[in-house]
Amino acid sequence: MTFSASETRYDSMLYRRCGRSGLQFPAISLGLWHNFGGVDNLESSRELLLRSFDLGITHFDLANNYGPPPGSAEETFGRVFNADLRSYRDELVISNKAGYRMWPGPYGEWGSRKYLVASIDQSLRRMGLEYVDVFYHHRPDPDTPLEETMGALDYIVRSGKALYAGVSNYDADLTAKAASLLRELGTPCLIHQPAYSMFRRWIEPKLLGVLRTEGIGCIAFSPLAQGLLTDKYLAEIPAGSRASKPHGFLRPEHITDDKLAQVRALNDLARRRGQSLAQMAIAWVLRHPEMTSALVGASSVAQVKDNLKALENLSFTAEELKCIDEIIGS
Ligand code: NDP
């Protein structure tokens, strides 16, 4: 059946400006790292994309290597995009990245111009897109000059393969250098994509300040710590969960007794706030004015709907924030 997007798709989502740019992102975005690969069910991936769009999630985040196998999340997205979403292209912000290994030999990963330009061309073909909205360098390359990597991002934008450039997993100092190079080239750095959650707070001391000064937006990946910051692992590792899957990046050994004790205490606090732990974890990430969007993953439409309710209570009292700091020991 032909997809027709919900008339109410813009009624309840919150949109936030990305740094000092003209682009706005939904406060909650959907990532295709897990649950969209060749190993996953195409129909449930399709449902997730279409229902998310119906709920105002206008931003979908991909990378060349998402799957498994690598590249297959782009193919899944391409199939759904071409069948159902093509007429909504101008309502969507689609991002892509390159940095991790995609093909054999010395040109299949990291940050050379050779790799990045070949990768975006491959990705556009797999997704059936003419351009992506944001193209990121996925991880710093210790060996390629930053000038070359940023020059490649600038070229990719100028050649119309992407509208904006971003960086991911760059530390504060490297981000400042990358921002300066991109500014000189005339392609400002739009956005940074770091890991950020109650269990990974590395961006707080320095990176957020750099982003504020530079006018760069921020989209936090894995705000639920891959599902650990929800109530799902409190009793056991449920069948079908990420930690139960052989290709899942959350491994059972990450779910220690110490972590579970923290999750239990956070879950109690979330309940006192009238939220689920997932909702509180998302609201907590979004509490920074520099934070443009929380980049969440989901394996069901019910999870997406649950997570969107985070937007109903985004404020924290000083006491609640202190309580969270005490629970997670910082
Ligand atoms: P999350 O921390 O949001 O974890 C998502 C997982 O949490 C889901 O797959 C699901 O697990 C579980 N979950 C989500 N909502 C709920 C809920 N309401 N109740 C219970 N469980 C829930 O993010 P991801 O780790 O998936 O990362 C999100 C995106 O960030 C990726 O898709 C990707 O786009 C990006 N990313 C970027 C990286 C980078 O280097 N730039 C690295 C990693 C991610 P389950 O499947 O078990 O149901």
- Residue in the structure block whose two tokens are 């934008």: 157
The CA-CA-CA angle for residues 143, 145, 148, to 5°, reads 125
Q: What is the pLDDT of residue 254?
A: 87
pLDDT digits (tens, 9 = 90+) for 276-330: 999 999 999 999 999 999 999 999 999 999 999 999 999 999 999 999 999 999 7
Nearest-CA residue for atom 27 of ligand 1: 222
| 72 within some domain | yes
What pLDDT does 1 receive?
A: 75
Residue 242 Cα: closest atom of ligand 1: 47
Q: Does residue 179 surpass a pLDDT of 90?
A: yes
Do the domain assignments include residue 16?
A: no
Residue 290 covered by a domain: yes
Do β-strands 15-17 and 24-26 pair in parallel, antiparallel, or remain unpaired? Answer: antiparallel
Running DSSP on this structure, what letter comes out for residue 229? T
Ligand 1 neighbours by CB, cut-off 6 Å: 31-35, 61, 138, 168-169, 193, 221-227, 230, 232, 241-242, 278, 295-299, 303, 306-307
User: Which comes out higher in pLDDT, residue 31 or 239?
Assistant: 31
Instruction: Tell me the residue type at 61.
Output: D
C-alpha–C-alpha distance, residues 212 and 215, integer Å:
5
Query: Rounded mean pLDDT of 117-134?
Result: 98
Question: In this structure, are residues 191 and 120 in contact, taking their beta carbons and an 8 Å threshold?
Answer: no
| Ligand 1 mutation pick, 251, 299, 304, max ligand atoms within 8 A of CB | 299
Residue 89 falls within a domain, yes or no? yes
pLDDT at 144: 98
| Position 246 in a domain | yes
The neighbouring-strand residues paired with 95 are: 61, 134
Domain that holds residue 247: 24-328
257 to 67, 176, 245, 248, 262: CA distances (angstroms): 30, 38, 20, 20, 9
CA pair distance 259, 116, nearest whole angstrom = 38
Q: Are 250 and 229 in contact (CB under 8 A)?
A: no
Ligand 1 mean position to 224 CA, how many Å? Answer: 6
C-beta separation of 215 from 183 below 8 A: no
- Distance of CA 143 from the midpoint of ligand 1 (Å): 30
Q: Which is the closest atom of ligand 1 to the Cα of 228?
A: 7
Which residue bears the tokens 């921020």? 218
Long-range contacts of 128-131 (CB under 8 A, 24+ apart): 128/78, 128/81, 128/82, 129/78, 129/81, 129/94, 130/160, 131/160, 131/161, 131/162, 131/163
Q: What pLDDT shows up at residue 287?
A: 98
Asked if the structure places residue 104 within a domain, the reply is: yes
The alpha carbon of 158 and the centre of ligand 1 are apart by a number of angstroms equal to 32
Q: 72 pLDDT exceeds 80?
A: yes
CATH number of the domain to which 146 belongs: 3.20.20.100
Q: What is the pLDDT of residues 83-95, one digit of tens each?
A: 999 999 999 999 9
State the distance from the centre of ligand 1 to the C-alpha of 194, rounded, in angstroms.
13
100-104, 158-162, 173-177, 245-249: range with lowest mean pLDDT = 245-249
- What is the number of structural domains in the chain? 1
Residue 2 domain flag? no
Specify whether the CB–CB gap between 189 and 196 falls below 8 A: no
Burial letters 76-101, b for 16+ CB under 10 A, else e? bbbebbeebbeeeeeebbbbbbbbbe
Q: How confident is the model at residue 154 (pLDDT cuts 50, 70, 90)?
A: very high
**DSSP summary character for residue 51:** H
Residue 245 has which token pair?
A: 């899957």
Contact in structure between 153 and 165 (CB atoms under 8 Å) = yes
Q: How far is the CA of 145 from the centre of ligand 1 (A)?
A: 32
Proportion of the chain above pLDDT 90, given as a percent: 92
CA distance linking residue 53 with residue 6, whole number of Å = 8
Global confidence as pTM: 0.98
In a domain, 194, yes or no: yes
Average pLDDT over residues 267-271: 98
Residue 252: pLDDT above 90? no
Distance between CA atoms of residues 296 and 223, nearest Å: 6
| Mean pLDDT, the chain, integer | 97
Q: Whose CA is nearest to atom 23 of ligand 1?
A: 222
Kindly give the distance from the C-alpha atom of residue 326 to the centroid of ligand 1, in angstroms, as a whole number: 25
Contact 119, 80 (CB under 8 A): no
Instruction: List alpha helices for the chain, DSSP H.
Output: 42-54, 72-80, 113-127, 146-158, 172-185, 207-214, 257-272, 277-285, 301-308, 318-328
Distances (CA, A) of 19 to 24, 79, 218, 261, 289: 9, 32, 8, 36, 10
For residue 164, what is the enclosing H or E element? strand 162-168
CA of 34 to the centre of ligand 1 (A): 7
